[in-house]
Chain A
Amino acid sequence: MTVPRVERPGLYYPKLPATWWLRNANYFRFMLRELSSVFIALFLVVFLIQLHRLPQGPGAYAAYLETLRAPGWIIFHVLALAFALYHSVTWFNLTGVVQVVHLGERQVPPRLVVGASFALWAVVSVVLLWFLLRG
């Protein structure tokens, strides 16, 4: 897929090293943002296994929950939560840039779109929290 570039003699062609993302803070934050997807996916796999234990009866389910109490898992979940929050914040900030919203002829300022996304996130989270914890 990659088309090799024809290099002309005399010119110096710089090579971008694999460590380019350590060169500036924005690049590094980009890499963290992308990496967040790994933690989110891992959590969802953990969740999927939990759901898999559900029909196997209360014993199997409790045993699985017990595993998650291990310090290693707690540390993993703290880390995953931090990444998940980072993902949410960057995601909503960026979608405001991508999604152009029009009201009549005028474009809604991206700042408002971003604000609305954060508000939606808050509402959804509260509703979800209430639903999960009410029983």
Chain B
Amino acid sequence: MLTRKTSEPFWWLLFAAGGMVAALLVPVHLLVQGLAVPLGWTSISHARMLALAAQPLVKLYLFALIALPLYHWAHRFRFILEDLGLRGLRTPIALLSYGAAVLGTVATLWVLWRI
């Protein structure tokens, strides 16, 4: 396992990458998939979605889009809890947060694999 000294830069790099991906890409996806499609302003057919998602390059894109911001979340969530005074539980909080992100990564890989 990574020691604390070397693991911090590792998680921080993932956090930074995730933050950048989230800042650049997430708003548009949210607008289209979260609001435009459900409210009927536009529609994307199942066939087109499936065709798109089956392409390897798009899969790579989707992987980055979903997995990296999970580390961004994990990092910030960990420090929110610490900043709220849960310093005594630092190690379990870190394990839980980053663990969830790793799980999410595995899940993303599995979902994309099956498409």
Contact = CB atoms under 8 A, between A and B. Distances in A.
Given A35-B80, A55-B115, A50 B24 contact: no
Contact of B23 (A65, A78, A92): A92
Contact of B30 (A17, A62, A81): A81
Contacts of A78: 35
A101 interface: no
A62 B46 CA distance: 8
Given A1-B90, A40-B26, A55-B115, A65 B80 contact: no
Interface residues of B, number: 55
Nearest to B79: A34
A41 interface: yes
Interface residues of A, number: 53
B86 to A, nearest CB: 9
Tell me whether chain A's interface is mostly helix, strand or loop, or mixed. helix
A74 B30 contact: no
Q: Is the interface of B mostly helix, strand, loop or mixed?
A: helix
A1 B90 CA distance: 8
Given A74-B35, A135-B45, A84 B87 contact: no
Given A91-B23, A121-B24, A132-B28, A48 B46 contact: no
A28 interface: no
Interface of B: 4, 19-20, 22-35, 37-39, 42, 44-50, 53, 62, 65-66, 69-70, 72-73, 75-77, 79-80, 83-85, 87-88, 90-91, 104, 107-108, 111-112, 114-115
Closest 6 interchain pairs by CB? A77-B34, A41-B73, A91-B23, A18-B85, A37-B76, A88-B23
Interface of A: 1-2, 16-18, 21, 31, 34-35, 37-38, 40-41, 43-48, 50-52, 54-55, 58, 61-62, 65, 68-69, 73-74, 76-78, 80-81, 84-85, 87-88, 91-92, 95, 120-121, 124-125, 128-129, 132-133, 135
